[in-house]
Amino acid sequence: MSDECRIAISGIGAEAAQGILKALRAEQDTFFILGLDHQDDCVGFHMVDAYETTPDCIRDEFIPTLIGFLQKHRIQYYFSGVDLEVAYLSAHRTQIESETACRLLLPPKAITDVATDKLKTSDWLNAHGLPYPKTWDQKDLNPDVLPNDMAFPLIAKPRQGYGSRGIDKLNDTTALKAHLAAQHVNSEDGASIYGTYCYQAYLDGPEYTAELLFDDEQRLVDTLCTERILRQGRTICAWPILDGRFDTFLQDVGHALSGMRGAINVQFRINHTGLPTIFEINPRYSGSTGMRVELGFNSPLRYIKHTAFGASIKPAAIRHARVYRHFTELTVDLSDTANGHNI
């Protein structure tokens, strides 16, 4: 195995990181891959060349421990597979990259700050002339005098939430008032265990997800839009959508994402006027990465070949198929587990 390109992937026990791993292993290539996870043992540890257990990213020792692992394994590129850590990595990016030889493959901090806050996402879309769902901050709402332009149903979501955690659909004024009251009961500053909420106009209809891939010149070079079926916030089936409206829309989004390199993911529905409307920006490779690889759209591998070896990024040849997600198993001999061996 060549040490030509040494890569770390965090959250290796979960689907986003394993999708990145699948993408990088799609060809018989020469990457050294370090898996990172806060668990002492997980299935991903048995799929990589080396692994380390990290503290939770909210703990003070996370950044210094991570820096130590990146130095120890001489890591050059870091893929994050963990929603929660993105903001921490972004805040400490200068320190990490100055104390190691590693480059964090994350959006610029300005984009990360927007993408990790649902209210800021809405404001950013509005500022760039892109369709957006009307969104209200919890702190600005008086339950006795609601805005005239507020219509139901609404989606209540944590401003700094991720996945589908803490999300509720509110069908009427009574439900909204009860939700607002519950947030103020939970803590003095009105923040629940999920943090401060925002309330967003509900967009009905099919849900789409799109990945936008940028080169190191910050040019949008390829996109893939898929329609998907979700179960408990998790994509279980996806297929590519070819629609000129979406192509133009994604070009507009790409133009607004100033300074972007690598991949970013957006989720959207169609609003009542027929326009694609983003309700979430994901500042890392998403949990559907492995499904996109099956469709021929391999962003992690193409970007690494581009940024590490200078290869140009060519538009992908998309396979017109449905991809279904299913469970499988990996069996590891107890002797291998005990000795910390990988298979």
Do 91 and 143 belong to one domain? no
Kindly report the pTM of this predicted structure: 0.92
At 164 the pLDDT is: 73
User: Which token pair is 164?
Assistant: 């589908």
Do 39 and 27 belong to one domain? yes
- Final residue in a domain of this structure, among 180, 201, 222: 201
The answer to whether 251 and 261 have CB atoms below 8 angstroms apart is no
> Cα separation of 224 and 271, whole Å?
20
Kindly give, in sequence order, each residue whose CB lies less than 8 Å from that of residue 11, ignoring residues fewer than 6 positions away.
17, 36, 37, 80, 81, 82, 85
Do 225 and 161 belong to one domain? no
Domain assignment present for residue 123? The answer is no
pLDDT in tens, 201-254: 999 999 999 999 999 999 999 999 999 999 887 899 999 998 888 999 999 999
> Cα separation of 282 and 223, whole Å?
15
Do 138 and 58 belong to one domain? no
Domain assignment present for residue 148? The answer is yes
Domain assignment present for residue 122? The answer is no
Q: In 3-state terms, what secondary structure has residue 295?
A: coil
Do 181 and 214 belong to one domain? no
Residue 301: C-alpha distances to residues 131, 235, 242 (Å): 31, 22, 23
The answer to whether 68 and 54 have CB atoms below 8 angstroms apart is no
- Domain range for 246 is 204-324
Exposed, middle or buried by CB within 10 Å (0-12, 13-18, 19+), for 96? middle
> Cα separation of 23 and 306, whole Å?
14
Residue 126: Cβ within 10 Å count: 13
Query: Quick one: three-class SS letters along 172-227?
Result: CHHHHHHHHHHHHHHCCCCCECCECEEEEECCCCCEEEEEEEECCCCCEEEEEEEE
> Cα separation of 49 and 32, whole Å?
6
Check residue 145 and report its DSSP letter: B
Long-range contacts of 24-28 (CB under 8 A, 24+ apart): 24/300, 24/301, 24/304, 26/293, 26/298, 26/301, 27/301
Domain assignment present for residue 128? The answer is no
Do 86 and 177 belong to one domain? no
Domain assignment present for residue 113? The answer is no
Phi, psi values for residue 10, rounded to 5°: -90, 160
Among 324, 285, 321, 287, smallest CA distance to 301 is for 285
Domain assignment present for residue 119? The answer is no
Residue 83: C-alpha distances to residues 51, 172, 286 (Å): 20, 31, 9
Do 298 and 209 belong to one domain? yes
Residue 216: which CATH number? 3.30.470.20
Q: Which residues pair with 340 in a beta bridge?
A: none
> Cα separation of 92 and 82, whole Å?
16
- Final residue in a domain of this structure, among 169, 185, 201: 201
Domain assignment present for residue 254? The answer is yes
* Number of domains making up the chain: 3
Do 142 and 160 belong to one domain? yes
User: Which token pair is 198?
Assistant: 């925002």
The C-alpha angle 107, 304, 114, rounded to 5 degrees, equals 10
Helix (H) or strand (E) holding 22: helix 15-24
Do 196 and 225 belong to one domain? no
> Cα separation of 38 and 32, whole Å?
20
The answer to whether 122 and 135 have CB atoms below 8 angstroms apart is yes
- Final residue in a domain of this structure, among 174, 201, 228: 201
pLDDT in tens, the chain (343 residues): 344 799 999 999 999 999 999 999 998 778 999 999 999 989 999 999 999 999 999 999 999 999 999 999 999 999 999 999 999 999 999 999 999 999 999 999 999 999 999 999 999 999 999 999 999 999 888 888 889 999 999 999 999 877 678 899 999 999 999 999 888 655 555 555 557 899 999 999 999 999 999 999 999 999 999 999 998 878 999 999 988 889 999 999 999 999 999 999 999 999 999 999 999 999 999 999 999 999 999 999 999 999 999 999 999 999 999 999 998 899 998 876 554 545 4
Do 278 and 320 belong to one domain? yes
Do 213 and 162 belong to one domain? no
Do 224 and 299 belong to one domain? yes
The answer to whether 129 and 188 have CB atoms below 8 angstroms apart is no
Residue 90: which CATH number? 3.40.50.20
At 2 the pLDDT is: 46
Residue 196: which CATH number? 3.30.1490
Domain assignment present for residue 120? The answer is no
pLDDT in tens, 27-71: 877 899 999 999 998 999 999 999 999 999 999 999 999 999 999
